[in-house]
């Protein structure tokens, strides 16, 4: 059988940086291929070469056995290659149907848009991605993030692609939505469409792909059948270490001492039923719940970012003023928020100024920022946290996602917290940065810092948490001790209010 697409010796560099070196890859029709690798390993660049956005510097590509050199994304699409990016490219105030056919509206011979045809085709496409109950006339902004992601995939299917490339499609999907997406992928594969599937979730790749390809530092390091490989082997290929999700805790100062933080009946009156929790010094409390369970709302209410409607919080026995971020920071609570790009970084600021942003009051007693002290402290934190960069003066957007996340970590640490709140601290970072962040969390806890870590990944909770608070539909449903924590128990509690 002629392969759908065959790459041989593909290389690509941006300026002095060699991003891809000698990549050989063959995709058969109807195959589902998982593409794994750390951030910066070259996954997106490789897929951009395949889809026509970048031209390779060396090597050749063949499509159906004939030389293939797309000069633009449009040419790639014309050849049947569709790349669905992780960042959404939908027009939020247009309807779902309009978005699906954007730039390609179905029209009558008179030139007028054929709304009826668009609606009925939209309905078929939506059903295929598992959004059968969504009205095609609804504005996209009314959909949840996961639904928008699925609309994006439906949009790619309008042109009936032969190769569909999905970049982390499940990161914003609920388990049910992800399940439907994989069913769709299997249907497509049966009909002969090949699918390349970029992901950070290894189990997902193992369960749903025929083959798994791993990139590291721009080279293809392994290409195996999913049945013949394992999670540990893949992690080793990606980073060269195993034991990522091993529990590092134990031997920390336990209960008995005065709690570092005492949260009593904290509620926001809308999303959160009252929550009570004590956190000991040096303790890591995991916060688990399904999407929409109120994890983020709880952390943000505790942090004063959202208005509260009752309850009290004490830090080392001193009550704090709720409803003000400045008061929380002053009392020693800091938050590393979810959503690095939209809620974390200052994109045009340097790494250093991103780190010092929360601590300027301390660094500028007379109002003037002490540049020397700022440099010294931020440099020390950057090196402690292992932020990889040329200089602290470079714009934060020039760093990889994992390093940006460490910089936001450094910002929280620079404010000298006593209770550190982490909301999805490893969302969208590569395995290497993930391991670093787990090590950092462990180290901070050993130094006596208390942490509450919200995560939607059970493996993460099990790797770092000493106890686990489980939430379901805005309610606190369980606090599990370490010896009670297992994937099964935690999940069972998380589904309590989702009968």
Partner 1 sequence: MDLRNELPMQMPHAKPTPGTRPSATSAGSSALRRLAGQRETSVALLLLVVVVFMTFANENFLTSRNLLNVGRQASVVAIVALGQALVIIARGIDLSVGSVIGLSAVAAAATAQATGLQAFGIGAAIGTGLAVGLVNGLLYTRLHINPFIVTLGTLSVARGIALLITGGIPISFTGWASWFGAARVGSVPVQLILMLLLAVVFFVFATRTRWGRNIFATGDNPTAARLAGIDVDGTRLLVFVLSGVVAGLGGLILAGTLGSAGPDLGRGYELDVIAAVILGGTALSGGRGSIPGVLLGALLMALLGNAFVLLGVSSHWQVVTKGLVIILAVGIDGVRRGRED
List residues near partner 1 by CB under 8 A.
303, 305, 325-326, 328-329, 334-335, 337, 342-350, 353, 357-358, 360-361, 363-364, 367-369, 371, 393, 411, 415
CB closer to partner 1 out of 155 and 306: 306
Question: Is the separation of the CB atoms in 253 and 245 below 8 Å?
Answer: no
Q: Report d(CA 493, CA 497) in Å as an integer.
A: 8
Which CB sits closer to partner 1, 335 or 469? 335
Q: How far is the CB of 334 from partner 1 (least distance, A)?
A: 8
Smallest separation, CB 346 to partner 1 (Å): 4
User: From the CB of 408, what's the least distance to partner 1, in Å?
Assistant: 9
CA atoms within 13 A on the CB side of 442: 19
**Least distance in Å: CB of 351 to partner 1?**
10
First to last CA, the chain: 48
Closer to partner 1 by Cβ: residue 243 or 321: 321
User: Which CB atom, from 83 or from 303, has the smaller least distance to partner 1?
Assistant: 303
Sheet holding 58-63, edge to edge: 17-27, 5-14, 58-63, 66-67
Nearest to 461 by CA among 424, 413, 411, 436: 424
Burial class (CB in 10 A: 0-12, 13-18, 19+), 325: middle
Q: How far is the CB of 377 from partner 1 (least distance, A)?
A: 15
Minimum CB separation of residue 373 from partner 1 in Å reads 13
Between 243 and 326, CB nearer to partner 1: 326
| E strand spans, 160-283 | 163-167, 194-198, 211-216, 219-225, 261-266, 275-279
Decide if 233 contacts 239 (C-beta within 8 A): no
Between 247 and 305, CB nearer to partner 1: 305
Instruction: For partner 1, give the closer residue by CB, 248 or 375.
Output: 375
Closest distance between partner 1 and the C-beta of residue 350, in Å?
A: 5
Residue with tokens 């008061």: 327
Q: Which is nearer to partner 1, 215 or 412 (CB)?
A: 412
Residues whose CB is less than 8 angstroms from the CB of residue 397 and which lie 6 or more positions away in sequence, other chains included: 345, 347, 348, 404
Least spacing, CB of residue 304 vs partner 1, in Å: 9
Residue entry with tokens 């995939």: 153
Q: Which of 61, 35, 48 is nearest to 223 (CA)?
A: 35
Count the Cβ atoms, other than its own, within 10 Å of residue 413: 23
**Contacting residues for 395 by C-beta, under 8 A, at least 6 apart:** 347, 348, 349, 350, 351
């Amino acid at each position: 059988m002629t392969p759908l697409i065959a790459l041989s010796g593909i290389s690509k560099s941006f300026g002095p940086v060699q991003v891809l070196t000698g990549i050989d890859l063959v995709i058969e029709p109807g195959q589902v291929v998982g593409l794994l690798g750390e951030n910066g390993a070259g996954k997106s660049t490789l897929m951009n070469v395949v889809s026509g956005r970048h031209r390779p510097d060396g090597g050749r590509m063949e499509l159906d056995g004939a030389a293939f050199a797309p000069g633009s994304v449009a040419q790639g699409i014309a050849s049947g290659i569709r790349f669905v990016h992780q960042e959404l490219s939908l027009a939020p105030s247009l309807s779902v149907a309009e978005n699906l056919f954007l730039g390609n509206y179905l029209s009558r011979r008179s030139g007028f848009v054929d709304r009826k045809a668009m609606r009925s085709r939209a309905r078929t496409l939506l059903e295929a991605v598992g959004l059968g109950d969504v009205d095609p006339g609804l504005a996209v902004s009314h959909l949840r993030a996961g639904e928008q992601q699925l609309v994006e995939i439906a949009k790619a299917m309008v042109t009936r692609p032969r190769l569909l490339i999905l970049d982390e499609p499940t990161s914003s999907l609920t388990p049910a939505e992800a399940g439907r997406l994989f069913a769709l992928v299997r249907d497509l594969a049966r009909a002969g469409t090949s699918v390349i599937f970029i992901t950070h979730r290894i189990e997902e790749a193992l369960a749903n792909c025929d083959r798994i390809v791993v990139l590291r530092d721009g080279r293809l390091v392994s290409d195996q059948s999913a049945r013949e490989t394992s999670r540990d082997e893949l992690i080793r290929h990606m980073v060269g270490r195993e034991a990522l999700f091993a529990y590092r805790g134990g031997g920390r100062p336990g209960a008995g001492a005065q709690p570092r933080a005492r949260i009593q009946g904290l509620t926001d009156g809308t999303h959160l039923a009252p929550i009570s929790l004590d956190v000991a010094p040096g303790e890591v409390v995991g916060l688990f719940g399904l999407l929409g369970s109120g994890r983020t709302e709880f952390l943000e209410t505790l942090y004063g970012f959202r208005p509260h409607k009752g309850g009290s919080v004490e830090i080392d026995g001193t009550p704090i003023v709720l409803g003000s971020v400045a008061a929380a920071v002053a009392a020693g609570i800091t938050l590393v928020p979810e959503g690095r790009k939209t809620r974390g970084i200052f994109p045009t600021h340097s790494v250093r100024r991103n780190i010092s942003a929360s601590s300027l009051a301390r660094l500028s007693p007379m109002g003037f920022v002490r540049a020397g002290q700022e440099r010294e402290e931020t440099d020390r934190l950057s090196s402690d946290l292992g932020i990889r960069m040329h200089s602290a003066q470079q714009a934060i957007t020039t760093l990889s996602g994992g390093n940006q996340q460490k910089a936001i970590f450094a910002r929280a640490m620079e404010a000298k917290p006593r209770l550190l709140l982490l909301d999805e601290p490893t969302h969208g970072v590569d395995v290497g940065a993930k391991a670093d962040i787990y090590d950092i969390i462990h180290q901070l806890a050993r130094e006596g810092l208390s942490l509450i870590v919200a995560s939607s990944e059970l493996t993460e909770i099990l790797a770092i948490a000493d106890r686990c608070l489980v939430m379901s539909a805005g309610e606190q449903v369980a606090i599990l001790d370490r010896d009670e924590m297992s994937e099964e128990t935690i999940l069972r509690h998380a589904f309590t209010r989702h009968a």
